Structure 1
Amino acid sequence: MCRLLLLAPLSLCVLGSCKDNEIRTYKVATDSASGNSAAVPAGPMGGVPKGETAQDDAARSGSVVWQAAADWKQEQAGQFLTAAYTLPGGGRVTISKLPGDGGGLAANINRWRGQMGLKPLADKEVSGQPLKIAGSDAEILLFNLTSESSADDADGILAGVLPLKSETWYFKFTGPVGVLKKSGGIFMEFLQTVRKGGGGASASTANPAPASSSAKKIHVTPPAGWTPSEGSSMRAASFSIAGPDGTSADVSVVPLPGDSGSVLSNVNRWRSQVQLAPLDSEDDPALGKKSEIPAGEIFISHMVSAEPVINGKKAAIGSAILKRPGMTWFFKITGDASLVETNLEKFDTFVRSATFPE
């Protein structure tokens, strides 16, 4: 089995500070229209056919679309890539597709493992962590092609493979292992925006339409001791928490269009990030519980790694999922297990402070 790195940024650039005895209310909003919103499969030679827009081509080919972060620098993709981006924190994300099964899942994964100096796996051992694509029965398979013992300056690969009926899509995040550890959560946020286009769909339905401006805005009140952090442009809010002995935790609020997957699929994805086995049923008490807040019904989960995964210490994730009309909101606190656990009550209060303008 390929284990994923803890895909959440654990050390973020601090933009400001909060006094210990002061609570501030932040009004934040996302604006998907400001980003690279129509990245789609290219024509036969890497371009869009004359007379068609990129979205027209996505609708015509019935393939996939995604939402790149506004601060990602788009590169000239070239003949063998559909799209390529350089991330501001380092690393590179590339997207490509091959016809059919692309030569086989095991063959491609083992090729990447070879590039990282890892031994090949038997076909039956190649099974990525599934990430369900909202609005379809398709799944992206997630892989970490990096040795857990690799130094931070060694090369690493995080990858998502999306097998479709007539083609296979490959999403790769490459860079030094230290960069992948820090920005892996941003890559996961990006993969959650991937959507299948409909073969007969119009361009507006092939590319997930942004929700109304009121649905994209949220007001949250962070507790004392949480410092606003840079995060990524996909986040509506981002905070860092500094703990003793250099420990840290990251808090994020991420809106994604539509249903954005079941509670079970999202919780299992987060469980994989702290190296826990997936749950089989939505009736499993380990999944979490429902709760009511002024903004609506949320689903709260908390998970702790069984083994040390961050600098010899256990990691934890606390999360809340809030579904709103046309948008799903993900609240997460991730990092050192003891620090996360001491902030869970604050996290609960933070989530409950969420309000949405009419």
Structure 2
Amino acid sequence: MIKNQTTFILLAIMLLSCDTDDHVRTYRLPKIKTSKNPHQIKDVTIKPSGFTWKKPDSWIPSRGSSMRLASFEIPYSGGVGELSIIQLGGEGGGLEANVNRWRGQIGLGPLSRLEIEAEAENGVSELGNYQLFRLINLEKKESAFLAAIFPLESSALFIKLIASADGIVDLEKDFKAFCSSMKRDNSNQ
């Protein structure tokens, strides 16, 4: 008997609480103040990376993922590119896997290791030799990459710039100079 009464009361509450009106509910939330200048950075802390570099004054430090040693927004004539610096253990997945993953991200097919090596441009910095890759899909010019891979003793350093194909052309000289300026930060020793 008590079970039936409880069931009846719960059913009555559920039916009475249903609302079939088609009215709009509005809510007021406090407005969050944001900067009018999208390039203004507040409280950006670049964690010590163990590396130093020289960057153009126009490059703006930005927040990146926790994997990144540093991130920059890079203005160019047609927009803003994004540069990231990461360090991965070992070979960081390997040359062929990384280059083919980047190629896939812009709609290009995979290449063999020999083809990748043939497309690489070699550079030199105080960190040692590095390979630079220019990845542009001429059919999808809105997204292209410049990427540099620095093989280190027990890790690999990756510097990747994402911009449009035109942006890559505009920024290539600065990117190469940036990569060539990379060196170990010995200030803590």
TM-score calculated relative to the size of structure 1:
0.38
Write the deviation string for residues 301-322 of structure 1: whole angstroms up to 9, x where unpaired. 00111323xxxx4321001000
Does 1:353 pair with 2:181?
A: yes
Write the deviation string for residues 127-177 of structure 1: whole angstroms up to 9, x where unpaired. xxxxxxxxxxxxxxxxxxxxxxxxxxxxxxxxxxxxxxxxxxxxxxxxxxx
- Distance across 1 between alignment mates of 2:160 and 2:100: 14
Larger Rg: 2
Cα pair 2:99 2:116 within 8 Å, conserved = no
Does 1:321 pair with 2:142?
A: no
Does 1:264 pair with 2:96?
A: yes
Aligned to 1:198: none
Determine helix, strand or coil for the equivalent of 1:338.
helix
- Distance across 2 between alignment mates of 1:14 and 1:286: 38
Write the deviation string for residues 173-196 of structure 1: whole angstroms up to 9, x where unpaired. xxxxxxxxxxxxxxxxxxxxxxxx
Cα pair 1:279 1:287 within 8 Å, conserved = no
Letter in 2 for 1:282: L
Aligned to 2:120: 288
Letter in 2 for 1:278: P
Does 1:29 pair with 2:29?
A: no
- Distance across 2 between alignment mates of 1:337 and 1:314: 6
- Distance across 2 between alignment mates of 1:274 and 1:294: 31
Aligned to 1:250: 82
Aligned residues: 147
Determine helix, strand or coil for the equivalent of 2:68.
coil
Q: CA deviation at 1:282?
A: 2.1
Q: CA deviation at 1:237?
A: 1.1
Residue 14 to residue 254, structure 1, CA distance change in 2 (3 Å): farther
Cα pair 1:304 1:314 within 8 Å, conserved = no
**Structure 1 unaligned blocks of 5 or more:** 1-12, 18-25, 31-216
Determine helix, strand or coil for the equivalent of 2:51.
strand
Determine helix, strand or coil for the equivalent of 2:114.
coil
Aligned to 1:210: none
Write the deviation string for residues 70-112 of structure 1: whole angstroms up to 9, x where unpaired. xxxxxxxxxxxxxxxxxxxxxxxxxxxxxxxxxxxxxxxxxxx
Match of 2:64 among 224, 231, 234: 231
Letter in 1 for 2:158: F
- Distance across 2 between alignment mates of 1:317 and 1:299: 14
Letter in 2 for 1:29: P
The percent of aligned pairs where both chains have the same amino acid is 27
Residue 281 to residue 255, structure 1, CA distance change in 2 (3 Å): closer
Cα pair 2:125 2:183 within 8 Å, conserved = no
- Distance across 2 between alignment mates of 1:296 and 1:332: 18
Cα pair 1:276 1:306 within 8 Å, conserved = no
Letter in 2 for 1:221: K
Q: What does 1:88-107 align with in structure 2 at a 5 Å threshold?
A: none
Aligned to 2:22: none
Determine helix, strand or coil for the equivalent of 2:112.
coil
- Distance across 2 between alignment mates of 1:317 and 1:326: 25
Determine helix, strand or coil for the equivalent of 1:282.
helix
- Distance across 2 between alignment mates of 1:274 and 1:319: 13
Letter in 2 for 1:261: G
Aligned to 2:41: 16
Cα pair 2:123 2:180 within 8 Å, conserved = no
**Structure 2 unaligned blocks of 5 or more:** 1-37
Aligned to 2:171: 343
Aligned to 2:13: none
- Distance across 1 between alignment mates of 2:110 and 2:40: 36
Cα pair 2:76 2:171 within 8 Å, conserved = no
Cα pair 2:76 2:170 within 8 Å, conserved = no
Aligned to 1:6: none
Q: CA deviation at 1:27?
A: 7.5
Cα pair 1:264 1:282 within 8 Å, conserved = no
Determine helix, strand or coil for the equivalent of 1:241.
strand
Residue 326 to residue 290, structure 1, CA distance change in 2 (3 Å): same
Determine helix, strand or coil for the equivalent of 1:238.
strand
Q: What does 1:183-194 align with in structure 2 at a 5 Å threshold?
A: none
TM-score calculated relative to the size of structure 2:
0.69
Residue 244 to residue 300, structure 1, CA distance change in 2 (3 Å): closer
